Chain A
Amino acid sequence: MSVPQYRKAAALALVAGLGFSLTACSTKSDDKDTNAGGKVTITVDCQPVGAQKELLKNWNDDVAEFQRQNPDIVIKSVSVGEQCNNPPDFTARLAGGTVTDVFYGYMTDLQQVLDSGQAMDISPHVNKDAIPTWDSVDPALKEAFTDGGKLYAVPVKNYSMGLVYNKVLFQQAGLDVNNPPKTWGEVRAAAKKISALGNGIAGYSEYSAGNTGGWHFTSLLYSQGGQVLTADGKKADFNNAMGKQVLQNLKDMRYGDNSMGARQLLQWGDLLTNAGAGKVGMFIGAPDATQAIVSQFQGKFQDWAMSPLPGQDGLAKGTLGGGEGYFFKKDLTPEQVKAGLKWIAYQKLTPGKGQFDYVRAKPQNYPVGLPQPLLFANGSEAQKQELELRKANANVDTANFAIFEATPVPIKGEPRNAQAVYAVLDAAMSGVLTNPNPNSNIDALLKTAEEKVNQLLAAES
């Protein structure tokens, strides 16, 4: 081979090599195999991860059964991790356009999803024909996924927070399991008794990191009748008697009674880990917290019960609620949208099937009988069916949740710009829970947080 030829070959090889390496990466973005062989294929995320064995098996069984009933639809399941919506990963998928055809999101994600331009308006497609139980779905949930009169997601889960408590610890501490605390004063007294059991047990446990502290502060504030932002969403509205009461209650328990355990700066999994290990008497959470304690944190659901959120004097004046739904990726074909709706209708919105298949869930290691997911409007046909099935197959003592269900506390959603506000409020929570100085000033903490939130909102608009 002569010299110049050889060089050219080398140069070509390099260029070609690089070019190849770049094109070789066109991975999943363009498998739009919609109508291969007359079949409609859709990808759906939030498949349970391998560790959640029974949940995963249920999901796969549902897919198989659904495909048997609908031979022209192929469901490709995608697992996106233990938490289906972990903000950084979710942002990455949205920004990168790698969300699945039908993708999971929280109610509070609507704005971000719209900003990314990844979701499609599904209002023309969603009706009683596509989803038989659609008219029974709570209108408030539909509203939460609606923007400018257009619907962007189908709600599949809804929750509100209450007081979750460990019955075993209650009994050991000589507390009445059937008469859980109704006010923060009673919570404090109960927490004191439970933490007196020793062994590193916290009577009451609370978050203060990873934005979860701000999230729970919001719920605690709602219980006092307060709100995080003013009605127009332009100013902080927690630096007042109600906000102070929230922090004072925590401070009294943390340093007055020392009944909140030594470990603070907890975020989601930390608290539930402790709860699973039997080290937490009470915490506030949604009913599905008990599910997570079982499926991920080696706990027993039989140990847990739930009551409505306590208030300062008497029951809470409000509680934090939220929900989840499935969005549809832009540019799907009408057939794909139809197939996606059909799948959601089957797996998420049909009493007796999918997530409502209580017969299947009963013998499994999952609680049946929890007052959730509260998808259907009160008095609707679907709600009655669901309720009957749930009662018939309950494997937890429904009496433990009866008060929670019978005493509806008004539900409020999350504030605007929730994550940024929560990040600020985390500091107030961690300030109260980690600063042993008795003179540490709640007023100052709230004032700082207020200034910060106002700055943030001003810069935002």
Chain B
Amino acid sequence: MAQDSGTRTLISHAQLRRGRGRFIYWALLTVVVVGFTLVFLGPLYWMVTGALKSGQEIAQTPPSLFPKDPQPQNYVDAWNNLDLAKLLFNTFYYAAGAVVFQLVLDTAAAYSLSKLRPMFGNVILALMLATLMIPAMVLIVPQYVTVIDLPIVHINLLDSPFAIWLPLVANAFNIFLLKRFFDSIPEELMSAALVDGATPLRTLWSIILPMSRPILGVVSIFAVTAVWKDFLWPKLVMPSPETRTVSVGIYAFAGGTPMNVVIAASVIAAIPTVIVFLIFQRNIMSGLTTGSLKG
């Protein structure tokens, strides 16, 4: 199906099917497939086999391609000593919560800004968008002292998943994406629903949301990626070993562990996400390519 996907790109199909063009195309494709496999899959192979090597073998010159004396014990040690199950659970738990909180609160906010348009809505939106230019690092210290002693209520959120979930809701980019998407939904649909006596909540639920699946998918992917990729914030607000995320856990662990075990832990930590990714890759890819930045 990929062969004749109609659309014309940089180089015309006709040119690629004929003589020299055809040869160059195949040569280039081969080079790229081999090259990319080496560049992107190679390191992962190195990682999986490297974790099987002994400390001595890792330090050997030149490095060996296959582990001579495989040490599966490294994987067992990594799994047990690092309590990887717990770390992975934490990370997925935080990611799931982040998706729920962002979908509920950001969607509601974007809907309000796009369709209900209450007073000062534009001011609020402007203030939100202004935060887009403020990188997380700038706020890390005041945000941190805020989280350890929330103003007025004086609650300490350290080691609580809310310390990860709630700050992620304050995501102007997501609200912007959602709002733009909602803006594109014809106003007539809204008015028609209102005439029928539907409440705004009902309209959101039964008209807007079903049309917005792609953008909701994108926001979810962003939410998961944010939790998965973030390092310093979870490191600061989740100081106990029981509440750490995978990335922070591996870092904390690496300071006092032989490197082959650290690498083994890294391999194990990557497996679940890679599997999830391979299962949902069609959805993720199409979500990222059709939904993002287009809404």
Contact = CB atoms under 8 A, between A and B. Distances in A.
Q: Answer yes or no: A and B touching, Cβ < 8 Å.
A: yes
A98 B159 contact: yes
A22 B153 contact: yes
Contacts of A86: 252, 255
A298 interface: yes
Contacts of B163: 25
B126 interface: no
B155 interface: yes
Nearest to A273: B258
A38 interface: no
A14 interface: yes
B59 to A, nearest CB: 5
B125 interface: no
Interface in B7-54: none
Contact of A273 (B61, B162, B252, B259): B259
Interface in B123-169: 144-145, 148-150, 153, 155-160, 162-163, 165-166
B255 A3 contact: no
A22 B159 contact: no
B55 A28 contact: no
Contact of B162 (A22, A29, A96, A272): A22
Interface in B251-277: 252-259
A96 B158 contact: yes
A26 B256 CA distance: 32
Nearest to B158: A96
B199 interface: yes
A27 B159 contact: yes
A7 B198 CA distance: 11
Contacts of B256: 82-83, 268-269, 272, 292, 296-297
A278 B56 CA distance: 8
A92 B254 contact: no
A80 B145 CA distance: 20
Interface in A49-90: 49-51, 78-83, 86, 88-89
Contact of A25 (B59, B155, B241, B255): B155
B160 A27 contact: yes
A22 B80 CA distance: 34
Nearest to B74: A298
Interface string A39-56: 000000000011100000
Nearest to A79: B241
Contact of A80 (B56, B156, B240): B240
B201 to A, nearest CB: 5
Contact of B252 (A82, A95, A298): A82
A97 interface: yes
Contacts of A360: none
A24 B162 contact: yes
B236 interface: yes
Contacts of B193: none
A77 B158 CA distance: 18
Contacts of A439: none
Contact of A27 (B156, B165, B201): B156
Nearest to A21: B162
Contact of A95 (B148, B159, B162): B148
Interface in A13-31: 14, 21-29
Contacts of A95: 144-145, 148
A243 to B, nearest CB: 28
Given A7-B199, A82-B255, A97-B156, A49 B162 contact: no
Contacts of B150: 22
Contacts of B236: 88, 92
Nearest to B199: A6
B115 interface: no
* Interface hub of A3, A25, A82, A268 (most chain B Cβ within 10 A): A25
A23 B152 CA distance: 12
Interface of A: 3, 6-7, 10, 14, 21-29, 49-51, 78-83, 86, 88-89, 92-93, 95-98, 199-200, 267-269, 272-273, 276-279, 292, 296-298
Given A86-B255, A98-B159, A277-B258, 7 more contacts: A3-B197, A21-B165, A80-B241, A96-B239, A98-B239, A278-B55, A278-B56
Closest 5 CB pairs of A and B: A51-B81, A277-B55, A96-B148, A25-B160, A82-B256
30 contacts: A6-B199, A6-B201, A10-B200, A21-B162, A22-B162, A25-B155, A27-B156, A27-B159, A27-B160, A29-B156, A49-B81, A49-B241, A50-B80, A50-B83, A79-B241, A82-B255, A88-B236, A92-B144, A92-B148, A92-B236, A92-B237, A96-B149, A97-B148, A97-B149, A269-B256, A272-B256, A273-B258, A277-B56, A297-B256, A297-B257
